[in-house]
Amino acid sequence: DLVLSETLKRVKPSPTLAVTQKARDLKAKGVNVISLGAGEPDFDTPEHVKQAAIEAIERGETKYTAVDGIPELKKAVAEKFRRDNDLSYTTDQIIVTPGGKFMIFAAMMATLNPGDEVIIPAPYWVSYPDMVLLAGGKPVIIETKAEDGFRLRPEALKKAITKKTRWFIFNSPSNPTGCAYSAGELQGITDVLKGAEKVWVLSDDMYEHIIYDGFEFVTPAQVEPALFDRTLTMNGASKAYAMTGWRIGYAGGPTQLIAAMRKVMSQSTSNPCSISQWAAVAALNGDHGFLKERNAAFRERRDLVVSMLNDAKGIECMSPEGAFYVYPSCAGCIGKTSSTGIKIEDDESFAAALLEEEAVAVVPGVAFGLSPFFRISYATDKSSLEDACFRIQKFCDALE
């Protein structure tokens, strides 16, 4: 039998990927499944980005690069931070990783010692707590409330900070809720962090560009310059440029931290894919006009899904500022029984019964650390979303 490491025993596999797989299995059996589980834009990578990659291959940019990224990309990242976020990083304060996911992992691996605490507001992106565990740290979860728009209250953050707190992980717009912090809302949080001098901030800005209704995106180091020297401002190509498969994440942060993360990479991944890096240069330096059109499509879908879900019996759904997720409550369905006799005890049995009876795949809130909710990704075409919401309405209607 295979003997597993104690480290690996501490973590679970990604639950969102598991739901997507289950939906795929059902599809393979011929079931007409609508999968609202995956967290990736359904749009294609922009043409000029693809062309840059093709040209890079033809130029022979197919070899190892500097571990932390080619100079051209680091320069483009520095310019992006200056342009969009009023943040000024030198190139030794910039790092590029194979996806944003590895960025967080490298930061945790580089800095955590056993017993170190990392504060994570819930609902959280599924990988945060497990990456902290993999790195030997201790996730400290603070639950937020739907009535606060799933935003963390500054006093709750203050209460959770101890002598052992090493990091605070912040994500706006959020996966899974889509909720985002305005400058004023973020100020309450950064005021607390300003006074907690030992705590470092990891700001996951992955959904920066996917925002609606004129919302103005802000990031902690921008709102509170006093945090600049202990903040890792992280972003990536996956969501903004529909480049999930290319695996490019990037960040700006203090030189020492970046050097430590570079060391983790140098002994694990080496450089991010050379071709993807050239594609990312084109994405960051290129025209961002396509975002407007895509965000308009996303917003239309959000409005459709929110309104149809609020018409479903027992479901309540707020309309978030960004990303491509909604996080409705299924509290009104708990305690009921489905038409085939499945008892809805929590969001997990809700999601399981919904998949079983109406072939709609959603991710139960328990995966994100806050129940009784579920996550819907609306990064799919309108007619599938409409069909899925009809099925959810039908499912909820039939509960007794």
In the complex, which residues of this chain contact ligand PLP (CB under 6 A)? Answer: 39, 99-101, 125, 171, 175, 204, 206, 236, 238, 244, 249
Nearer to ligand PLP, 169 or 353 (CB): 169
SS3 content of the chain, % helix, strand, coil (to 5): 45, 15, 40
Q: How far is the CB of 229 from ligand PLP (least distance, A)?
A: 23
Q: How far is the CB of 31 from ligand PLP (least distance, A)?
A: 26
Nearer to ligand PLP, 40 or 311 (CB): 40
Nearer to ligand PLP, 65 or 174 (CB): 174
Q: How far is the CB of 271 from ligand PLP (least distance, A)?
A: 16
Q: How far is the CB of 314 from ligand PLP (least distance, A)?
A: 27
**Cα separation of 96 and 262, whole Å?**
9
Q: How far is the CB of 311 from ligand PLP (least distance, A)?
A: 28
Nearer to ligand PLP, 244 or 319 (CB): 244
Q: How far is the CB of 171 from ligand PLP (least distance, A)?
A: 5
- E-state strands within 197-310: 200-204, 231-236, 249-252
**Cα separation of 344 and 15, whole Å?**
20
- Which residues, in sequence order, are CB contacts of 355 under 8 Å at separation 6+? 22, 23, 26, 33, 361, 362
Nearer to ligand PLP, 39 or 139 (CB): 39
Q: How far is the CB of 295 from ligand PLP (least distance, A)?
A: 17
Q: Tokens 């809720």 label which residue?
A: 177
**Cα separation of 325 and 291, whole Å?**
17
Nearer to ligand PLP, 85 or 238 (CB): 238
Q: How far is CA 360 from CA 190, 308, 350, in A?
A: 39, 15, 11
3-state secondary structure of 87: coil
Q: How far is the CB of 288 from ligand PLP (least distance, A)?
A: 18
- Show contacts of 193-199: CB within 8 Å, 24+ apart: 193/157, 193/168, 193/220, 193/224, 193/227, 194/224, 194/226, 194/227, 196/158, 196/161, 196/165, 197/230, 198/163, 198/165, 198/166, 199/119, 199/161, 199/165, 199/166, 199/167, 199/168, 199/230
Amino acid sitting at position 29: K
Nearer to ligand PLP, 103 or 334 (CB): 103
The DSSP bridge pattern shows strands 117-122 and 325-326 to be: unpaired
Nearer to ligand PLP, 100 or 129 (CB): 100
Amino acid sitting at position 79: E
